[in-house]
Every structure is written in structure tokens, then in C-alpha cells.
């Protein structure tokens, strides 16, 4: 079993990583490390934020660390919420508030305006403050006009992946993980780790 620590306290993300990485990996996260302060996401891109988290956490905890930064980009909103996806409606707000703000913003635009959007995920693998590799996953789609489904988290109830008529929140975990931005990035991470020396 290969131990891997995720630089997150988001239980939803940790669960998805466990599902996607499967057997062969022992996944833990920062919920076991209350002594680690939250890393401020001050980067201008998902990769910059993931690097900040990976660097900070890997300097304090031994072993392989994976940091994730991901979010939703809506073309007609100039790429928002982007790196501010988790705090789009304000710091510490709920997923419901973030989704409501996004739907309100789109409702002020003409009906003919594109609702094209994408989810983007960047993973950074690090050890002892040094970046080892970076992995990215993107899934194209659009924003529904109302929430649909009860699964998933974040913007899942309003994101319609391309060529599907169901939101991420209407898909099973297996279906979502097979096509999602995080699923793509984690598959690339898993392939890298399977070839990475255990003592590396």
C-alpha cells in the first residue's frame, strides 16, 4: 500500500480520491493534522494555488503530498468563478450560496448568451517542499438553468457535461469519476505513481 496525503480538509474531495485511486493507496488528509495552518490561495491560477499548498504542506509532513485546486470557468462571465470557485459568494459560504450567485449572474444576461463552461483540476505532487509532477484534467460542458440532482458537491447540480443531459449531481459516483476533471487528473496521477519508485 502506497501512502498519500491530500493537502485538503474537504471530505468530499478525499472520498473521491479514494474511489478513483482504488486499492493500492492509503489516502489521508489534513483532517488528521490540525497543527497545519490553512494555506492562503493567493495564486492567479489553479496550478499556482496547488503549488502553494503542496509546497507548504510537504515542508511540514513527510512523504508524498498531493495538492488539488479546481473550479468552474464560465465563458460568458469572463472565466468566473475560476480560482474563486469555492468562495465565489464570499469566504466561508455554502455551496448553495455559490451556485445561487452564479445562476443569478447568468440570469442577468440575454437568453441567447452562451452558457458554455468547464471544470478544471490541477494536481501537484510534492515531497519535502519540492515539486515532483503536475497533472491537469478538464471537462467541457455548460450551466443548467436550474439545479438538478442531489449527488456530488460544489457546482455539480448545475454543471451539464458535454453531450449529456444530466448534471454531475445526477450521475452515479462511478459515472462522474470516469469523465470528471478530477477523474482525468487523478488517472494521470495514478499512472505516474504506479511507475514512481516507492523509495523515490
pLDDT in the model for residue 198? 67
The domains found in the chain, sorted by start residue, are 2-195 (3.90.950.10)
* 69 labelled catalytic: yes
CA distances from 56 to 63, 114, 128, 162 (A): 13, 39, 9, 36
Of these residues, 29, 68, 69, 156, which one is catalytic?
69
Q: What is the 3-state secondary structure (H, E, C) of 150-171?
A: CCCCCCHHHEEECCCCCCHHHC
Confidence of residue 199 (pLDDT cuts 50, 70, 90): low
pLDDT digits (tens, 9 = 90+) for 101-160: 999 999 999 999 999 999 999 999 999 999 999 999 999 999 999 999 999 999 999 999
Count of residues in the chain: 200
Instruction: Give the predicted TM-score (pTM) of the model.
Output: 0.93
Distance from CA of residue 56 to its chain's centroid?
A: 18
Amino acid at each position: 500500500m502506497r501512502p498519500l496525503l491530500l493537502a485538503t480538509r474537504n471530505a468530499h474531495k478525499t472520498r473521491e480520491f479514494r474511489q478513483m485511486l482504488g486499492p493500492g493507496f492509503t489516502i489521508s488528509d489534513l483532517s488528521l493534522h490540525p497543527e497545519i495552518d490553512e494555506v492562503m490561495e493567493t495564486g492567479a491560477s489553479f496550478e499556482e494555488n496547488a503549488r502553494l499548498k503542496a509546497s507548504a504542506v510537504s515542508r511540514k509532513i513527510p512523504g508524498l503530498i498531493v495538492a488539488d485546486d479546481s473550479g468552474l470557468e464560465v465563458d460568458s462571465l469572463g472565466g468566473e468563478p475560476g480560482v474563486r470557485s469555492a468562495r465565489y459568494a464570499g469566504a466561508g459560504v455554502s455551496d448553495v450560496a455559490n451556485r445561487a450567485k452564479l445562476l443569478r449572474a447568468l440570469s442577468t444576461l440575454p437568453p441567447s448568451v452562451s452558457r458554455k463552461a468547464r471544470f478544471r483540476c490541477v494536481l501537484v505532487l510534492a515531497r519535502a517542499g519540492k515539486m515532483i509532477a503536475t497533472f491537469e484534467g478538464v471537462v467541457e460542458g455548460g450551466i443548467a438553468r436550474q439545479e438538478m440532482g442531489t449527488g456530488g458537491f460544489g457546482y455539480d447540480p448545475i454543471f451539464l457535461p458535454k453531450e449529456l443531459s444530466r448534471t454531475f449531481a445526477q450521475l452515479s459516483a462511478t459515472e462522474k469519476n470516469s469523465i470528471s476533471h478530477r477523474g482525468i487528473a487523478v488517472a494521470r496521477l495514478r499512472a505516474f505513481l504506479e511507475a514512481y519508485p516507492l523509495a523515490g
